[in-house]
Amino acid sequence: MSLARIYGMQTLLRTAHLRKCVVKVCGASGPSALPWLESVSRRSILTGGGASHEKLAPKPVPKHDWNRAVSEAEKIVGYPTSFLSLRWLLSDEIANVALHLRKLVGSNHPLLRTAKMLIFNGKNNMQAWGLIVLLVSKAVGHAPTVPDLEQDKSAGVLQSQRGLAEITEMIRTAQLVHQGLVNLQSLDEAGNELGSDSDTIFGNKIALLSGDYLLGNACLQLAGLRNQPLIELISSAVRDLAESNFIGERDQQNNPLPSCPLDCPGMAAADRDSEPEGAVNFGDLVSNTQPLSLEGVMGNPEREWALRHILGAGSLLGKSCQGAMMLAEQSEALQRRGYMFGKHLSLAWQSCIDLEPFGCDHLPPGVRFSLVSAPVLFHLAHDPSLYEEIQKGRESVDNIDFVKVHAAVLKGPGPERTRILQKKHSEAALEVLNDLPPSDARTALQNIILAMQDI
């Protein structure tokens, strides 16, 4: 007797027994239970009998979670890549910095906020940069000419690539720490004796020296890789980081201010339909070791935003991904694709961060946001009259009514155009990944890009 016939006989017996049980339990309401019973019988027959053969209902697809995406990615490359590893925390220099930071507790020095962000390792900072460099390294692989001693076969990356990942994070962190410096004197009072605010002076010293320490160690490790083209590439990224602090107008505390919108008829409409090369591929058509040109950039919202954040972040991540492929002795064409991936990933990440303050209808008291964020720049092109409020911050951004700016931007096209911008850069990064062979590292990078949209 065939198995199908046996299952059929078992189903008929089970149905008959179930019918008797239903009649006993339901009593007078038994007839109303018959349609339900017939559906159970049909489902049981179609699935071949018992409950063990019945198909389970599909589980809902889980929402992409940032922390889980990063945690799974770290397992792929071996261990967390942040420079805040055990060997760094146990070094005398970092221990001394931590002790000195305790003296700033209770003050308003911005270095404390920077330190809290780095140690907490929240999802809105770029402490995952080294992780991305290692994932790119593993996804691309290396040439067969690379010596075996150079390979970390357990993680699938090279020892030099792991060193480059740490160098990238140290340079990025040094930049963030240096941005915690406070200008204690206006330009008119430069050269006079400083005030009696000893906590602020002490905080500036710690920010300057600890940032210099990280940057110096990064340069030392970079030189230790003994790769002249790589040294030139990463050095140009450091140059871009420095240049990012000197473009456009700034207040006396070096907070960036947006440029005046270009005064040309129909500018906002023309920019809304701007060509892709002007925004997504900005800077891709020139040698990435050369300085980017400011011509036709300032006042154009999309190009100005791209320039600011390529110099301030995208250049370092893109060139680090390119350098990882350089260490793996991959072709120059593939190295260039690595640069584009890192650059577009950084810009997509930045657009997500720029959108966060505009996710609520009302700005919480005391909260400020970047005045050169994409939603603000897009709104200024749409409604240049808001620039009058921005001009109040030339001396200090504290003079600007952020609640007014926030409410105006929410009513305009800025947030929606920023979402479109984020989608374009995410797709540009995914397009590079799609050219790589399938692997767990490539999947991890794709998950990180998708999880960014939920930041």
CB under 8 Å to 164, separation ≥6 — which residues?
Answer: 133, 222, 225, 230, 320, 323, 324, 327
Q: In this predicted structure, what is the pLDDT of residue 286?
A: 66
The pLDDT, as a whole number, for residue 189 is 58
Q: Picking from 42-46, 134-138, 392-396, 412-416, which range would have the lowest pLDDT averaged per residue?
A: 42-46
Secondary structure (DSSP) of 345-383: HHHHHHHHHHHGGGGSSSPPTT----TTSHHHHHHHHH-
64-184+197-263+281-454 has which CATH code?
Answer: 1.10.600.10
Burial class (CB in 10 A: 0-12, 13-18, 19+), 48: middle
Can you give the residue ranges of every domain in the chain? 64-184+197-263+281-454
Nearest to 17 by CA among 41, 36, 1: 41
pLDDT of residue 204: 81
* Residue 177 binned pLDDT confidence (cut-offs 50, 70, 90): confident
Look up the pTM and report it: 0.76
Pick the range with the lowest mean pLDDT from 93-97, 123-127, 149-153.
123-127
- pLDDT category at 174 given cuts 50, 70, 90 is confident
Better pLDDT: 31 or 398:
398
Among the listed residues 282, 292, 290, 266, the one whose alpha carbon sits nearest the alpha carbon of residue 425: 282
Average the pLDDT over each of 101-105, 211-215, 354-358 and give the range with the smallest value.
Answer: 101-105
pLDDT for 115 equals 61
Under 8 Å between Cβ of 381 and 416: no
User: What average pLDDT does the segment 23-43 reach?
Assistant: 42
Q: Which of 80-89, 234-243, 396-405 has the highest mean pLDDT?
A: 234-243
Residue pLDDT, tens place only, 245-300? 888 888 888 889 999 887 643 344 444 444 443 446 666 666 788 888 888 888 89
Among 1-15, 72-86, 116-130, 300-314, top mean pLDDT goes to: 300-314
Which of 71-75, 132-136, 257-261 is predicted with the least confidence, judged by mean pLDDT?
A: 71-75
* pLDDT classification of 141: cutoffs 50, 70, 90: confident
pLDDT of residue 384: 92
What distance in Å separates the CA atoms of residue 448 and residue 345, rounded to the nearest whole number? Answer: 10
Sequence-distant (≥ 6) Cβ neighbours of residue 282 within 8 angstroms:
303, 306, 307, 310
Res 338 pLDDT > 90: yes
Work out the average pLDDT over 5-9.
Answer: 48
Share of the chain above pLDDT 90, in %: 38
